[in-house]
Structure 1
Amino acid sequence: MMLDDFMTRAALAGIGTALAAAPLGCFVVWRRMAYFGDATAHAAILGIALSLALNLPIFAGALVVALCMATLVTALVGRGRGADTVLGVLAHSALAFGLVGVSFLQGVRVDVMAFLFGDILSVSRGDLGIIWGGAALVLALVAWRWTALLTATLDPDLARADGIDPKREELILTIALAVVVAVAIKVIGALLITALLIIPAASARPFARTPEAMAMIAAALAVGAAWAGLRASYALDTPTGPTIVCASAILFAASSVYAGVRARLRSQ
C-alpha cells in the first residue's frame, strides 16, 4: 500500500497542514495576529500534558486547550493592557506550564522535542485522518465565511453596517486557528506553527492583486515549502519541521527580492 511508505505519509501530512494553514495565515497577516498564533500554539503543549495525564487523545487535549487560550486572549486583549503584553504573558506562561506538567508525568515516555519542533516522519494513518479532517473543516469554514471574515478584517464599521458582527467573525477565526494548531503540532511543532501560518502568506503578498489570489498563492507556496523542506530534510538528514520553515523563509526572501526589483523598475 502507498500509505505504508513513511515518506508518502509525511508528504501528505505536510500538504494537508499547508493547505489549512496558508489561507488562514492571510487573515493572521492582515489582522497582525502573529503573537495570537504563538499563544495558541504554545498552549497546545499544556493540552498535550493534560491529555497524557488523563489518558485522552493528544489531538483532543491540544484542541480544547488551544480553543480555551484563543478565547481567553480574545477576551483579555483591549482591557487596559496592550495586546502584545497580554499575548506575550499568556504564550510563554502556557508553554512553561505545559513543559513543567510533562516533567511530572510518571511512567509516560514523552519526546518533548517532537512536540516543540514536530515529527512529521512518524505520522501514522490515523494522524493523516486527523490532519486532513481538520484541514477540510478549516477550509470549509473559511470558504463559508470568507466574505464576512474579509469585511470584518478590512473595515469593522462597514461590516456592522452590512449586518456582520465582527466579534462573531473573530470567534470563527479563533476556532479555525485552534484547529490548525491542533492538527499541525505533530507535523511542524508548537514553536514553528506560527511560521507556517505567516511566512507563506507574507511571501504571497507581492504576487497577489486580490485577497482571494493571495490566499491561493499562499497555499501553493506553503505546499511547495512543505514538499521542498521534506525532500531537503531527507537528503541532508536535518530536522524536518525546521527545514520546512527554512524552505518557507527562502521563498519569502525570493518574494521580497522580486517585490524590491519590481518597485525599482516602476520608479524609473
Structure 2
Amino acid sequence: MLDDFLVRAALAGIGVSLATGPLGVFVVWRRMAYFGDATGHAAILGVALALASGLPIGLGSLLVAGAMALTVAALTGRGWAADTVLGVLAHSALAAGLVAISFVHGVRVDLQSFLFGDILAVSRMDLLFIWGGALLVVALIAWRWNRLLLSSVNADLATAAGERPARETLILTVALAVVVALSLKIVGALLISALLIIPAAAARPLARSPETMVVWATLMGAGAVLTGLWSSLTWDVPAGPAIVSASAALFLLAIMVGRLRRA
C-alpha cells in the first residue's frame, strides 16, 4: 500500500493534522499566529544548514526552528514588543536562508518545494519522521493539557495555583518547532502557519468545549489535506496551496454552520 505515492501523501497529511490540531488551538487562543510564521520562515535557514553539513533536512529544520522559537520567547519575555521581534526575525531568517541556499554547491535544490511544500514526494522515511513527531507532540500536549489550558485562559490564576506560565509557554514553543519541521515537507515554510491556524479557527464556531475544539481542529485539518490532494489530482494544481485553500473553504463553511446553529 505504501508504494502508492497518494497513499503516502494522505498518511503524511493526516499525521501532521494530528499535531497541528491540538497545537493550533493554543496558537489561536494565545494569538501566536505570527509566532508560527517566524518559526516557519526560520526552517528555510535550517534547510540550508542541513544541506551544507549533510544533516537530514528534517533535523536541520527542527534545530533552527527551535532556536528561533526560543529566541523569540526570550526576547518577548524581556519586554521587547512581540510584533517587532517577530517581524525582524521572521524576514531576516527567511532572507538568510534563501541566501545561504544559493551558496550550497553540488546539491540540486528545488526551492519551491521548501517554500510551498511537496507532499506528493513524501517517502517512507518521511512518514516515520512525521508520525513519530506528531505522536510526540500529541503526547506532550495531553500530558500538560490542564496546565497549558489554565495558563492560556488566565496566567495570573495559573500562577496563583502554583503553576509556571513561562514553562508552559516554553513547552508550546518546543512543540511548535517540532510541528514546523514536520509540516515543511507538506505545505512548505510559507504556508505552515495556515495549517496551524485555519483548522483551529474553523473549529471554534463548532466547539462547545476546549476538548471538542481540538477534535474539530484535527478533523478539519485531515479533511483539508484529503480535499486538497483530491483537488491536486483532479485539476493538476499544486498540492500545498490546494490544502490551504481547502482549509479556507472549510473555515467559511464552519462560520456559516455556526451562525445557523446560533440562529
TM-score interval, smaller chain = over 0.9
Q: Secondary structure at the match of 1:224?
A: helix
For 1:145 and 1:79, locate their aligned partners in 2 and report how far apart those are by CA, in whole Å: 25
Query: Does 2:253 correspond to 1:259?
Result: no
For 2:180 and 2:104, locate their aligned partners in 1 and report how far apart those are by CA, in whole Å: 23
Partner of 2:195: 196
Partner of 2:242: 243
For 1:159 and 1:220, locate their aligned partners in 2 and report how far apart those are by CA, in whole Å: 30
Partner of 2:228: 229
For 1:78 and 1:12, locate their aligned partners in 2 and report how far apart those are by CA, in whole Å: 38
Deviations 1:214-256 (A, max 9, x none): 0011101111111111111111100000000000000001112
Q: Secondary structure at the match of 1:238?
A: coil
1:261 CA displacement = 3.7
Partner of 1:104: 103
Partner of 1:35: 34
Deviations 1:41-86 (A, max 9, x none): 1000000100000111111110010010000000111545421111
Letter in 1 for 2:15: G
Q: How does 1:63-142 map to 2 (within 5 A)?
A: 63-77=62-76, 79-142=78-141
Partner of 2:173: 174
Letter in 2 for 1:206: P
Letter in 2 for 1:115: F
Query: Does 2:210 correspond to 1:211?
Result: yes
Q: Secondary structure at the match of 1:3?
A: coil
For 1:136 and 1:258, locate their aligned partners in 2 and report how far apart those are by CA, in whole Å: 31
* Mean Cα deviation higher: 254-263 or 181-190: 254-263
For 1:225 and 1:80, locate their aligned partners in 2 and report how far apart those are by CA, in whole Å: 38
For 1:9 and 1:143, locate their aligned partners in 2 and report how far apart those are by CA, in whole Å: 26
Q: Secondary structure at the match of 2:244?
A: helix
% identity of equivalent residues: 63
Partner of 1:149: 148
Deviations 1:83-134 (A, max 9, x none): 1111011111100000000011111100110000000000000000000000
Query: Does 2:25 correspond to 1:26?
Result: yes
Runs of 4+ in 1 over 3 A off after TM superposition: 78-81, 260-263
1:189 CA displacement = 0.4
TM-score by structure 1 length? 0.96
Q: Secondary structure at the match of 1:32?
A: coil
What RMSD over aligned residues (CA atoms) do the two structures have, in Å?
Answer: 1.0
For 1:80 and 1:5, locate their aligned partners in 2 and report how far apart those are by CA, in whole Å: 51
For 1:83 and 1:157, locate their aligned partners in 2 and report how far apart those are by CA, in whole Å: 20
Letter in 2 for 1:54: S
For 1:164 and 1:80, locate their aligned partners in 2 and report how far apart those are by CA, in whole Å: 21
1:185 CA displacement = 0.2
Letter in 1 for 2:155: P
Letter in 2 for 1:77: T
Letter in 2 for 1:13: A
Letter in 1 for 2:177: A
User: Which consecutive residues of structure 1, in runs of 5 or more, have no partner in the other structure?
Assistant: none
Q: Secondary structure at the match of 1:217?
A: helix
For 2:209 and 2:256, locate their aligned partners in 1 and report how far apart those are by CA, in whole Å: 21
For 1:143 and 1:80, locate their aligned partners in 2 and report how far apart those are by CA, in whole Å: 30
User: Which consecutive residues of structure 2, in runs of 5 or more, have no partner in the other structure?
Assistant: none
Letter in 2 for 1:37: G
